[in-house]
Chain A
Amino acid sequence: MTAAVPAAAEDRASRTTLRRIWAAVGLPLVSIILALFVGAIVIIASELLVGKGGLDLGLPLNAYGALFQGAFGSTDALVQTAVSTAPLLLAALGVGFGFKSGLFNIGAQGQYLTGALGAVAMGVALAGAPAIAAVPLSVLAGMAAGAVWGFIPGFLKATRGAHEVVTTIMLNYVAISLLAALVAGPLNTPKSISPVTKDVGNASLPVLIGSNGHLGILIALLMVALVWFVLYRTTFGFEVRTVGANPDAARYAGMHPRLLTILTMTICGGLAGLAGAGDLLGVSHQMTSSFSTTVGFDSIAVALLGRSTPVGILFGAILFGAMRAGAPLMQIQAGIPAELIDVIQGTVLFFLVATPVIGRFRFLRGAHTGLDTTQITRSYGEASR
């Protein structure tokens, strides 16, 4: 009799652990499956719309098969997945960090671009210098440029009350023009046909694995640990989370929400800038005036999918990184445009927030419903009070 009690308690404890895991994993998992299903419907519906002889009901399976093969099918594919995961991971860590303090940073796109711009400017200047100095300096330059692009909206919000959703979106477009202007102007290679910068040479990130598995992947993984540590094991992280959960309580407790806003946005920008620097120094090595990315919106989806926690974001980034890596093969083998990934992304988010839809699944009872961690619209347009 007495011996049975601890066993039962242990059983209960393990069941609670299971439930906690389910609470974190269940909803995203079901959302992804539902989104893939919707993606399949879109593929079939578009077959009807475009109508090229006959309806191939197996096409979605072919497409997803090619997608999977392109992401995980070979060593090269795996490396490619890691390469496309790294920038997503970094930028999404930034976006998630913002979410934790109640800030919606839609500016990851612009911060990524300025980060790449800073990295290429420094990298070209140091192309002949020894790699031991050129690489870290270029990476830091990119991170700093991104941080500036995050600091501006943070500063404007803290001092002028300008909502970051508006200013970051505007800064995204400013970054596109700035990049085009600098690549066509001071950074342009003389006598090139179309505007393009010089190669970053020695500032390129060293390749660790496969054809282009560069150092940036390792940096991104280190950042997951670092961001987790800052958020959950430092006073600063505690203050960030408190401001996000309840700004008034934070103020009464003697914290400085405005200063935290500036710092948080700067960190968001720095992380997204690091993503851009990694891609530029690790993958493209030079920049054309049309240098662009899908990291901006992807990282928002990843951060939401990972519920803004570093570990969740890691898994979300691997998922979307794999989709981005597999999309070209899907396009070649099944003729499905890569934009399907965006459709799936939007749908995943839809199911994440659409609690009445999710609520119909009885087995999801224990799972967290909705994105209830922080209400980010709370501060919308709020004057600098």
Chain B
Amino acid sequence: MDGLINGLYGIPILGILIQFIGYVVHIVPDISPLLLQAATPLALGALCGVICERSGVVNIGIEGTMLASAFVAWIVGVAIAPLLPADPSPIFGITPTLLIALAAALLTALLISLVHAWLSITVRADQIISGTIVNIAAFGITGYLFQLIQKGSPTSAGAFSAFTPPAQLVQIPIIGWIFNMFLNQGPIAMSVIVIVVVTQILLFRSRWGLRTRAVGEHPRAAETVGINVIRLRYRNVLAGGLLAGLAGAFLTMEASNSFQTAMTQGRGFIGLAAMIIGRWTPLGAFGAALLFSSSQAIAQSITFAPPGGDLGNILTAIPAQAYDMLPYLVTIIVVAGLIGRSIPPAADGQPYEREAAT
């Protein structure tokens, strides 16, 4: 019964989402791939949050993890690009350089997550403080190195290119834009939908998922039936970290081909909000990320092609910068409107202490 009510509650958001996307795609037909692109790092960040928090570890260091791996992806690419063959493969423009850079980014994310896991699981430090440490340190170290490296004005190692879906598919009336949205993408953005679905199934239909949820709700009970709470939490934080690293790599290897100081611009935090809006489920979080990116797009489409009449006059009179706050406002409104019904895992944020062996 509760599940049904929860499910019904999600429908208004779906409605808002569909109207948003519908309006945006109607105004600017080619924008649909951009919607998924903007949602990709948010969705990956939110998935990182889902995997961590379902096992009871709060991770607000997603932002920092993302930033650090974005930096490493870029700098490793720049460093090794001259040493390796540069002719890109026909699909996605993959080069050996990019693959190594991607691996380096994921490794960085793993290491950072290991620090967070150690502080919040083994040391049992306050998990929000631990995440804040990750954020501050990542901001500092990337900004520091970027300042130093910038003097040498490094080039870029290139980026993954987007796949071009067949024109017949894209031009199908009414639903063509959906194909365009999911197929006219680089490898990371395209894989997001797969990752979301796989995580959703694993979380609710696999042994790992059941154990994760048990540990997040009642670690002591889980330990009693023989689940190693500590090890599972470590694994989940590391797995989540990989996704945050992928989001970081996306920023410097697919969405753009260079690094900027503090370029994540709060995407990790928005991902956390998306996780809450999506009620700690991968599919819900993905929907929330799309909601966020489409409210960003709606702001842009208003400046591109404002609606006519008085409404248009009012909307264009507002300075363009004011529209930048729209996605954040939407997030606040949805979080404030939802959270009473959006209940986190019971042991979320609670350090677990094993009972002393007797």
Contact = CB atoms under 8 A, between A and B. Distances in A.
B266 A381 contact: no
A355 B139 CA distance: 24
A170 B269 contact: yes
Given A167-B335, A339-B143, A377-B349, A384 B340 contact: yes
Interface residues of A, number: 60
Contacts of A274: none
- By secondary structure, the A interface counts as helix
B99 interface: no
Given A339-B147, A377-B349, A300 B125 contact: no
A378 B321 contact: no
Interface in A334-385: 337, 339-347, 349-350, 353-356, 370-371, 375-378, 380-384
B353 interface: no
B126 A353 contact: yes
A304 interface: yes
Given A171-B332, A181-B319, A381 B344 contact: yes
B201 interface: no
A162 interface: yes
A376 B129 contact: yes
A340 B140 contact: yes
Interface in A163-183: 163, 165-167, 169-174, 176-178, 180-182
Given A165-B60, A343-B141, A185 B319 contact: yes
Interface in A299-352: 300-301, 304, 337, 339-347, 349-350
A354 B321 CA distance: 42
Contact of B340 (A341, A353, A376, A383): A383
B144 A46 contact: yes
A156 interface: yes
Contacts of A383: 339-343
B130 interface: yes
A223 interface: no
B61 to A, nearest CB: 11
A381 B276 contact: yes
A161 interface: yes
Contacts of B329: 170, 174
B131 to A, nearest CB: 9
Interface string A97-109: 0000000101000
Contacts of A340: 140, 144
A346 B332 contact: no
A373 B321 CA distance: 41
Contact of A180 (B129, B135, B321, B349): B321
A184 B269 contact: no
A161 B329 CA distance: 17
Contact of A184 (B127, B319, B341): B319
Contacts of B269: 166, 169-170
Given A50-B152, A162-B336, A170-B269, A354 B123 contact: yes
A341 B140 contact: yes
Given A337-B148, A339-B143, A354-B125, A349 B136 contact: yes
A286 interface: no
Given A166-B276, A380-B128, A50 B340 contact: no
Given A173-B325, A178-B322, A353-B119, A46 B136 contact: no
A50 B149 contact: yes
A354 B140 CA distance: 19
Nearest to A353: B125
Contacts of A261: none
Contacts of A46: 144-145, 148
A297 B128 contact: no
A104 B145 CA distance: 30
Contact of B332 (A170, A185, A345): A170
A342 B136 CA distance: 6
Contact of B127 (A342, A346, A377): A377
B348 interface: yes
Contacts of A178: 322, 325
A177 B141 contact: no
A297 B137 CA distance: 11
A167 B350 CA distance: 21
A1 to B, nearest CB: 46
A23 interface: no
Given A46-B145, A346-B133, A383-B341, 9 more contacts: A42-B141, A180-B319, A180-B324, A297-B139, A300-B136, A301-B136, A350-B115, A355-B125, A380-B58
Interface of A: 42, 46, 49-50, 104, 106, 156, 160-163, 165-167, 169-174, 176-178, 180-182, 184-185, 289, 297, 300-301, 304, 337, 339-347, 349-350, 353-356, 370-371, 375-378, 380-384
Interface of B: 58, 60, 115, 119, 122-123, 125-130, 132-141, 143-145, 147-149, 152, 265-266, 269-270, 272-273, 276, 318-325, 328-329, 331-332, 335-337, 339-344, 348-350
16 contacts: A46-B144, A160-B339, A163-B276, A163-B335, A163-B339, A170-B335, A177-B325, A180-B324, A375-B126, A376-B128, A376-B129, A377-B127, A377-B350, A380-B349, A383-B340, A383-B341
